[in-house]
Amino acid sequence: MYLTRTKASTPGNRPKKPSLRLKQLLMLTVLALLIPAGSVISVPNASAAGISKPFPQQVNYPGMIKPNHITQSTMNQSVSSYYDYWKSTYLKNNLTSLPGGYYVKGNITGDPDGFTALGSSEGQGYGMIITVLMAGHDSNAQTIFNGLFKTARAYKSSGNPNLMGWVVADSVQAQGHFGSATDGDLDIAYSLILAHQQWGSDGTVNYLNEAKKMITDGIKASYVTTNYRLNLGDWDSKDALNTRPSDWMLSHFRAFYEVTGDPVWIQVIDHLYSVYEQFTTSYSSSTGLISDFVVDNPPKPAPEWYLDEFKETNQYYYNASRFPLRIVMDYAFYGDSRGKAAADKLSAWIKTKTNGSPANIKNGYKMNGTAIGDYATAVFVSPFISAGAANSSNQAWVNAGWDWMKNKKEDYFSDTYNLLNMLFISGNWWVPTAETQPPVTNLALNKQAVTSTIEGTGFEADKAFDGNLMSRWASNEGSDPEWIYVDLGSVQNISAVKLRWEAAYATQYKIQVSSDTGSSPVNWTDVNTTTNGDGGEDNITFAPQNARFVRMFGTVRGTSYGYSLYEFEVYAASTP
């Protein structure tokens, strides 16, 4: 998501929360008169019935530090005060076209296509995460969260209805009119997992089911590319090599894996770490910085004016500025040392660059560390402070950063991201230990395979069973029929096959099974026949079968080439 970036007004949009009830205000007033000045007032959680993790949670993440020149209570008070300011400034529920719908108000960049843009999917995602984490402090949090989700669902994407269109406008015609933006949907899905942990899924919204559906039918279906990167929206290609590091929400993906059991999320994490390592080795070895957009393979900075957004798309600018928080969270929440290594490199460079003063951080840098900005803004400063919290040698830096952050108030984009960082640094962003699903096991992974023909060296049968979406099996060009089968090693009870086709696909083919003994089956049984294949990803289910061998038997090609599969996966009957 790209938003207007000026010194007086930076990117964004978010909904506004209602104030406490009069009775609570009177209680707070009485307490304020009775409690000495400077004390922290803690409101009883009587209104938090059914809340599992009321604010403040003040978690201590292993290996991380917090500001140590103030108390935890003082930090909590700063967060709650900043939230109250944020809520009154940006959280809105005045949509005449969607009564009960909340949104986060903020400016956007890009073409609103004749509508008056009020907010974005990015804002919805941020707002939903903030709201669920502040439940307990805000007695109306669940109502607001559900209102934000109502808007996210009403303003569905024109490309994939399981995702959100990137623009919020007060018009029924805007609902379903716009394509999606990856970052907003990732945060929205993640917030639903948090909501399931916070309130359970037995109320008016089944948060867990909504999260699973969005993760699999929305995000995975539209955003995860064949090379395990993330594209930019559901309008983008599944073969795209362009990606935006601000979307690399690695700890989100671990939560996605926990609730779905789908190993693709671990593959995405590993691949994005690899992209970061390749990129920084070539372009930012002394800084650890990464550009707003990354393209190609090997990865490199996008050119200037990429997608006609703004000139600095090849620099560390208003998109990439969010990256340090995203990567350090993977270390703080899940202990990945790669996240710590990246955070430490960024911290060492920025501390040296600014002589240890967070106020000297600028709003933009070249890959070599040369400043292209001229002032400090929270969306650049706060993530660097979060990254610094991964190393005890940065204690003075974190202390100074917190003091800078807690009173910084600018505009939607900076203020909202500032609040997210404050929640993280203070330990009030807790890890969702969702209901873990057993991993979905691909029975064909790394098993022996046989094919009728191969196009040439590098396209052997085993390439369709290696778990790598960057390698593939390919048959001879221009001939029918062609086939490929896998030996599962023993008889298994199976009921599903997934075929990930390359551009050379079958329009007509059969899935066949065999339980013959030996390694060269002769007797095959048809369990599924496809007559109108169109390539892409085919998810095929059939009645449970006992089989040792599983074959794709292609009879009609969809192109003048041969048949080609990135992956041929086989699943047990008990697997959804």
User: Where in the sequence numbering do the catalytic residues fall?
Assistant: 183
Retrieve residue 576's tokens: 């959804």
Other beta carbons within 10 Å of 28 = 13
| Look-up of token digits 């948090």 | 194
Exposure string for 422-432, b = 16+ CB within 10 A, e = fewer: bbbbbbbbbbb
Tokens standing for residue 225: 């590319």
Assigned token pair, 51: 């809340």
3-state class of 154 per DSSP? helix
Spacing of C-alpha 140 from chain mean position: 26
Token output for 562: 């041969």
C-beta of residue 195 within 8 angstroms of C-beta of residue 145: yes
Measured CA to CA, the distance from residue 362 to residue 355 in angstroms comes to 13
DSSP state, residue 368: T
Alpha carbon distance 161, 218 (integer Å): 8
Question: Using alpha carbons only, how large is the chain's radius of gyration in Å?
Answer: 26
Let me know: does 250 contact 339? Beta carbons within 8 Å: yes
How many angstroms separate the Cα of 120 from the Cα of each of 14, 98, 182?
Answer: 8, 15, 12
Pull the structure tokens for residue 550.
Answer: 């599983």
DSSP 422-444: HHHHTT-S------PPPPPP-TT
Residues 6+ apart with CB under 8 A from 537: 498, 499, 500, 501
